[in-house]
Structure 1
């Protein structure tokens, strides 16, 4: 008789055919997070899209540019996250994976909620005419539950305290936990056969099969709900297909065709957006709206495949710049929106015009992100608080003490998020 496999073995991906490190995914992660600075700067100026504050200069046409990025930017990050989880689980025991991931995600998130994000609410309340206090007066009130100052700003992890743009960190931690009980199924021979079968199908059929769950989710759920569900399903897609050699072979070989098709879909999408979506009401043909949602879903998937293929073709190589930028990703991500909102609000006082104001917001925001990271990377405690790996090696006892302190801090916070 064969010896039964230990139960924990069901949670570990198979070790055969482990691919080499994919530097293209590291580059793509850096690029997509970098595009967030452009995207959130654009949110100051795009008409009809909600944001914390708005410039006095609004553009309806800017939405057409934003729609080039909007459908696929987060889907790419979730796909990369799923691939990364599979790499980690091969090397790290499951409980250690959960512990380390919790510390690396929740500690920076908690610090940011209490220190980095509050200025966003401060400027938003001033912009809305709901605040006439100094920042210090506001910040003291910020930590008072049920303060009447925040009666119109209630949703959050705690009253009026929320993750804002850092919802990706919160969801990534939650999805990592939700993925754990699914691992025996995802690692099973049955799912492996289904995945192999997918890549044996005609490319059009395979793409449609991948699109349909995304389309159904987008069509049947409210905005916040489908954002969460789409993130989780893209993370699972990454876990399942991110190692498959046929996937990388096909997207690399056909990246030009994928780009051409994606551009056609993008042009179709902005046509639908301008001719139908902007004027949609209860009398709009429902079939037309369903078709528009399918177009959006298809655009999302094709652009993900296109940028994956493009990155695989040209970016799958290490460099010193990549090592530096990979460390900079989380700090940039954590601070960038607060900087954009603060700079955008202050510059709006000078009536500079949309072009000059927009360029200055971008330049100052990038400069501030660079300066902030240069400080963070030189201070070990700040590296921890911004999700950057420690620079120096420490004794086992010091590591254990650090993990214990971090656990004491994040366990109540994690339970608050889950419950």
Structure 2
């Protein structure tokens, strides 16, 4: 399949939304590293518009981009490049960029009194829990860990499966998802997932004990990988995305209505809580399909900004949450209104992310540390921008 620019734009948009969502976490009553002085219950309503589908969408577009890369190089080269592009930035960030997050969380929630220098040199590398916070930590970069593991699993399955069996299974899945099955099959799987997980199950983002997450995100990644060469499924998306959009809006209407009836920490009755979960799962999958359909219909064209934005996504992802947590903690001392805090957080995060990317891409030894390809001799850093299938 030729390059699909709509999927590039969808990936860029998904991560722009992720950054805005994490800024929202400073204001919503849900638990997070640091919070505004008076969290706002109503912020949960717009947050829930994206809460159900933002992570499945990220894994779908990452799977799609990974499949594009997999088809361009040998298996050994692909595995080596994935390790370099994902694990090197992960280790770098865990050592130098992420520690500010648990330090601030410990101060905000547990009264930790040590300076950052003391925390980083004496406490962060203890490899144990401090007041329930495990250090060192990968924090928001759990996505990178899961992406690498899922990629290796898919490559391993492909490696041990005969080519004829692969082709047969691909045709079977393409036929299964080429009609209403595009909606029915994934939603049925999500219903099974909901029944297995139970009402109080939560994602841990710790990899080894996180089946709640794996049952949702690994199939999403596989779907994205499979979608790279699935003409029947693409045809179904083009036929069904408007229906999916309507179902996603209906699901969100139920979710928002229940949230407004039982806001904040108020626990809804069991039957309404179950309806909330079911509507949220339907909203999530249908929104993913609708967004892919929109990207295919309206965004499948190139633009001069696309290569740079495609390259900038991963550095933005690596640094954005540390900027938000640090800036949010700093803002608390000024007792500003939530509106002023929001404007400052957005400005600080956007400026910090751009500075991190624009400076880092021009310094050769920093490029692999922030998830960028090394520029070849005689080739500018800008020209080295390639899709990498990562956040």
- Per the normalisation by structure 2, the TM-score is 0.87
Q: Between Structure 1 and Structure 2, how many residues are aligned?
A: 364
What secondary structure is seen at the aligned counterpart in 1 of 2:126? coil
Over 3 Å counting, the alpha-carbon distance change for 1:337 and 1:196 in structure 2 is closer
Correspondence 1:142-181 to 2 at 5 A: 142-145=123-126, 151-155=130-134, 160-181=135-156
Gaps of 5+ in 1: 1-18, 395-419
Alpha carbons 2:127, 2:136 under 8 Å: kept: no
1-side partners of 2:215 and 2:173: how far apart? 21
List per-residue Cα deviations over 1:55-88 (Å, max 9, x = no partner): 1031111111011111111111111122223222
Partner of residue 206, structure 2 = none
Query: Does the 8 Å contact 2:60/2:221 carry over to 1?
Result: yes
Q: CA deviation at 1:193?
A: 3.3
Unaligned runs of 5+ in 2: 204-209, 379-391
What's the offset of the Cα at 1:154?
A: 4.7
Q: Deviations over 1:158-216 (max 9, x none)?
A: xx111101111011111111222322279623312322321454x2x441211121232
SS at the partner of 2:71?
helix
Residues 1:200 and 1:260: Cα distance change in structure 2 (over 3 Å)? closer
Which of 161, 176, 181 aligns to 1:198? It is 176
**Counterpart residue number, 2:49:** 68
Pairing 1:201-350 to 2, within 5 Å after superposition: 201=179, 203=180, 205-221=181-197, 222-224=201-203, 225=210, 226-275=212-261, 279-280=266-267, 284-285=269-270, 288-350=272-334
The residue aligned with 1:398 is none
Of residues 49, 74, 82 in structure 2, which corresponds to 1:101?
82
Query: What pairs up with 1:381-396 in 2 under 5 angstroms?
Result: 381-393=365-377
Cα distance between partner residues in 2 of 1:192 and 1:276: 44
Equivalent residues of 1:86, 1:239 under 8 A apart: yes
* CA deviation map 1:111-161 (0-9, x unaligned): 0000000011111111124322222222211354268xx631453xxxx11
| Corresponding residue SS for 2:41 | coil
Q: Does 1:57 find its partner at 2:38?
A: yes
1:46 deviates by 0.3
C-alpha contact 2:250 2:283 (8 A) present in aligned 1: no
- Give the whole-Å Cα distance in 1 for the aligned partners of 2:361 and 2:307: 13
1:293 shift after superposition: 2.3
Task: Confirm whether residue 136 of structure 1 aligns to residue 123 of structure 2.
Answer: no
Q: Deviations over 1:207-265 (max 9, x none)?
A: 12111212322432332221232111101111223422233334335544433332222
Distance verdict in 2 for CA 1:279–1:97, change over 3 Å: same
Question: What RMSD over aligned residues (CA atoms) do the two structures have, in Å?
Answer: 2.2
Report the TM-score, using the length of structure 1 for normalisation. Answer: 0.81
Say if 1:197 and 1:276 are closer, same or farther in 2 by CA, change over 3 A: farther
CA shift, 1:289, in A, is 3.8
